[in-house]
Amino acid sequence: MKTKESLLQDFREILVDLKEFLNYQKNIGMEGFHFSSGVIDKATLYQTIEMDGSDTRACEERLTTLKAIRNQLTGCKRCKLHLERRNIVVGEGKENAKLFFVGEAPGRDEDIKGEPFVGKAGQLLTRIINAINLAREDVYISNIIKCRPPGNRNPEPDEIAACKPFLIEQIQVIKPEVICTLGTCATQTLLGTDEKISELRGRLHHYDGIKLIPTYHPAFLLRNPNFRRHVWEDMQMIQKEYLLLTSN
């Protein structure tokens, strides 16, 4: 197996040869030319390596910016939720995920572990993700606010206002193609509406040019299993969008 450097050297030699060949063709009045299959194979391989290289660089840049967001949040006291939290739950997942799940806020288990969706609702979210043939590692998961509200109460407007910019930054860095908002708070916050989740789900929306598909929060689903059919319908919409992306 040749190294990347030796392949690049091959390609440079091909370019020099090609230039001389084209000059020769031009001088003798020829308008067409012929490549051997070996030359085409090497050029194609070089192009693949260059594309892989740019993807790798983009991923590295994303990881660096996500780390910078995490650093900005270290010890955050921008709202009163810092008073009782144990851990700030920043988010986790693939830095270039096409699908981004946005929940409301960390619960008790997440506060203890410092990771999003690790309790019973998180296990259900994992099963939902698996049901559309994806793994948690394929997606990115975060919340509107990063610290647990006492007693799992709803986040208050000042807390959302203080923490939302970090989610917006995460979305801008990861550049997902589809956002799935989980529950009322996440959906209303990103769509800037006070419509009910029951009216918002089942339809395709957009946030900043990104497709947004709302569904019920897994914690709600645990308490109301008869809503599973609706969530499954929403997941099928997401799966359809995801398959369209990966087939392009």
Tell me the closest approach of the beta carbon of residue 94 to ligand SF4, in angstroms.
22
- Reduce the DSSP state of residue 180 to 3 states and report it: strand
Pairing relationship of beta strands 99-103 and 140-143 according to DSSP bridges:
parallel
Tell me the closest approach of the beta carbon of residue 132 to ligand SF4, in angstroms.
30
CA distance 76 to 164: 13
What's the first-to-final CA gap in the chain, in angstroms? 30
Q: Using CB under 6 A, pick the residue from 42, 62, 70, 78 that binds ligand SF4.
A: 78
3-state helix, strand, coil in the chain (%, to 5): 60, 10, 30
Residues 190-229 that bind ligand SF4 (CB under 6 A): none
Q: What is residue 139's DSSP assignment?
A: S
Q: Using CB under 6 A, pick the residue from 7, 45, 76, 112 that binds ligand SF4.
A: 76
- 73 lies in the site for ligand SF4, by CB under 6 A: yes
- 231 lies in the site for ligand SF4, by CB under 6 A: no
Q: Using CB under 6 A, pick the residue from 82, 86, 175, 205 that binds ligand SF4.
A: 82
Nearer to ligand SF4, 53 or 165 (CB): 165
Q: How many CB atoms lie within 10 A of CB 73?
A: 17
Cα 38 to Cα 35, 185, 218, distances in angstroms: 8, 58, 55
Tell me the closest approach of the beta carbon of residue 179 to ligand SF4, in angstroms.
19
Query: Residues in contact with ligand SF4, total (CB under 6 A)?
Result: 14
Q: Which residues bind ligand SF4 (CB under 6 A)?
A: 73, 76-79, 81-82, 88, 145-147, 159, 162-163
